[in-house]
Amino acid sequence: MITLGIETSCDETSVALLRGTTILANRIYTQELHAGFGGVVPEIASRAHIRKIDVLCDAVMAQGNLTLCDIDLLAVTDGPGLAGALLVGISFALGLHCAHKIPITGVHHLDGHISAIALEHPSCTCPFLALVVSGGHTALYRVEEPGVYTVLGATIDDAAGEAFDKVGKMLGFAYPAGRAIEICARQYTDSPSITFPRARVDGRELSFSFSGLKTALKYFLAGKTAEYIEQNKPLICASFQQALIGALVHNVVAALRTSALKRVAVVGGVACNQALRTALQDAVGEAAVFFPAPQLCTDNAAMIAIAGAQMARMGRTRFPSCQPSKSL
């Protein structure tokens, strides 16, 4: 089966082509236009998607050496995300659907992130634990079968990637700041000496909270000179990263213990973080931990295509309906 995936929920425009679970092409245009704003500007994102989407579609068709007549399924992200940005991808997909009579399905963006694991790791079979750590979401799911999830715990405030981005802004890094913080933290090779708090959510061991960590860092910086901050950025980044990773690892270990699951998939943009990967590998004991390749962790259309293909295999496709804040 040939699937064309389309992803435009935030600031990546992406189109991908799959044959079965094999990626024939996966083009991603990352909009660097938001770097100076400290976050994504919705109107700028929508306009950039419009400018790029047909260019990317032509490029993947050429790379895959296929024509639109060869496509068996269109899979498009229909939520959650920025309303205007989602509408660009959905409208484009509906145009292809109507003009070429190609079957279509809407895909939940988080379903895409979780399904990304199936592109490279067929041994991560259901049931498994999924930690979704991105700029918009941080949650633990029990994955019963593709598309069937139980939420075990989620953030009650900021997402992990959002915390990286907000702290990065305080430290003068461009948006998105997760990778820059990780690179800066690597320059500090000792054990980080600043202790930032790990929040506990009363009665909900598997929930996350990162706003207290962000505030603690804000007050820490407020008491320091610009010169101190500049000279100690690697230590500050390493200490912040250690605190945030500590919270993620704690909840994954607790979820594995209480669920008795033996496999865990870590997906979403923050799963690119090598320190998180190492800490989880070290902490999960007998369980197997799986990560997508970095380009399949951040937003991309190959993950949307595989999620759509899995829905088709199970007879669960659905007509796209733009739902900017749909929950999983």
| Strand, coil or helix: 175 | coil
**Options 134, 207, 241, 300; binder of Zn ion; rule CB under 5 A:** 134
> Interface with ligand KG4 includes 164 (CB under 6 A)?
yes
- Helix, strand, coil % in the chain, rounded to nearest 5: 50, 20, 30
> Interface with ligand KG4 includes 84 (CB under 6 A)?
no
Q: Which is nearer to ligand KG4, 3 or 241 (CB)?
A: 241
Site for ligand KG4 in 253-292 (CB under 6 A): 268-270, 272-273
Contacted by 292, from ligand KG4, Zn ion, none: CB < 5 to 8 Å by type: none
Classify burial at 69, counting beta carbons within 10 Å of its beta carbon; exposed 0-12, middle 13-18, buried 19 or more: exposed
Alpha helices, DSSP H, located in the chain: 42-64, 83-100, 109-115, 117-120, 160-170, 178-186, 211-222, 226-231, 233-259, 274-283, 294-297, 301-313
**Options 11, 12, 158, 299; binder of Zn ion; rule CB under 5 A:** 299
Task: Report in angstroms how near the CB of residue 206 gets to ligand KG4 at its nearest.
Answer: 20
Binding part of the chain for ligand KG4, among 143-151, 158-166, 245-253, 308-316 by CB under 6 A, reads 158-166
> Interface with ligand KG4 includes 173 (CB under 6 A)?
no
**Options 5, 176, 234, 308; binder of ligand KG4; rule CB under 6 A:** 176
Task: Report in angstroms how near the CB of residue 11 gets to ligand KG4 at its nearest.
Answer: 8
Q: Angle at Cα 130 formed by Cα 21 and Cα 76, nearest 5°?
A: 45
Task: Report in angstroms how near the CB of residue 52 gets to Zn ion at its nearest.
Answer: 17
Task: Report in angstroms how near the CB of residue 80 gets to ligand KG4 at its nearest.
Answer: 9
Contacts for 44 with CB less than 8 Å, ≥ 6 apart: 31, 33, 34
> Interface with Zn ion includes 77 (CB under 5 A)?
no
**Options 4, 177, 217, 287; binder of ligand KG4; rule CB under 6 A:** 177
Count of CB atoms situated within 10 Å of the CB of 46: 18
Task: Report in angstroms how near the CB of residue 26 gets to Zn ion at its nearest.
Answer: 15
Q: Which is nearer to ligand KG4, 75 or 96 (CB)?
A: 75
Contacts for 202 with CB less than 8 Å, ≥ 6 apart: none
Q: Which is nearer to ligand KG4, 115 or 273 (CB)?
A: 273
Q: β-pairing, 73-79 with 2-7?
A: parallel
Closest CA to 106 of 313, 310, 308, 328: 308
Pair 28, 300: CB distance under 8 Å: yes
Tokens of 7: 């992803």
Q: Which is nearer to ligand KG4, 3 or 300 (CB)?
A: 300
**Options 5, 135, 192, 292; binder of ligand KG4; rule CB under 6 A:** 135
Count of CB atoms situated within 10 Å of the CB of 318: 12
Footprint on this chain of ligand KG4 (rule: CB under 6 A)? 10, 134-136, 161, 164-165, 176-179, 182, 268-270, 272-273, 298-299
Footprint on this chain of Zn ion (rule: CB under 5 A)? 134, 299
